[in-house]
């Protein structure tokens, strides 16, 4: 899983720059996404997600609703069957192409007008 953090800056963030920030969107990615989109094609740092209470979001397992097969998920973990009322509330657990997180980051940057 990957998440786009609610952070924008001119330089690579240090660990404390991300303190208190949350994820805006989360999705499933292939490890190659890091190589395709990251600065220097690698992970540049680490921050323990538990420090900011960041955990996987709740998702629905599929588009639409199907009794007996639609699941409520927390990240990859299936929690329980989804109710019909919940099927319009939660986003779909989606798989992102290599460039999706970069596009989402650009949209965030434009929306914050930096």
The dihedrals phi and psi of 26, each to the nearest 5 degrees, come to -135, 150
Q: What residue ranges do the domains of the chain occupy?
A: 2-112
What does the pLDDT read at residue 113? 58
Q: Give tens-digit pLDDT for 41-97.
A: 988 888 899 999 999 999 999 888 888 889 999 999 999 999 999 988 999 999 999
Evaluate if residue 13 carries a pLDDT over 50.
yes
The answer to whether the CB of 31 falls within 8 A of the CB of 2 is no
Stated pTM of the model: 0.84
Closest CA to 57 of 33, 30, 35, 89: 89
Evaluate if residue 114 carries a pLDDT over 60.
no
């Amino acid at each position: 899983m990957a998440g786009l953090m609610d952070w924008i800056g001119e330089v690579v963030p240090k660990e404390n720059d991300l303190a208190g920030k949350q994820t805006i969107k989360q999705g499933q990615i292939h490890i190659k996404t890091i190589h395709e989109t990251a600065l220097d094609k690698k992970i540049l740092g680490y921050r323990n997600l538990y420090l900011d209470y960041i955990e996987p979001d709740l998702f629905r397992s599929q588009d639409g609703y199907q009794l007996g097969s639609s699941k409520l998920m927390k990240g990859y973990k299936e929690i329980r069957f989804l109710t019909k009322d919940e099927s319009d509330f939660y986003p779909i657990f989606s798989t992102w192409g290599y460039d999706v997180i970069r596009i989402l980051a650009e949209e965030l940057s434009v929306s914050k007008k930096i």
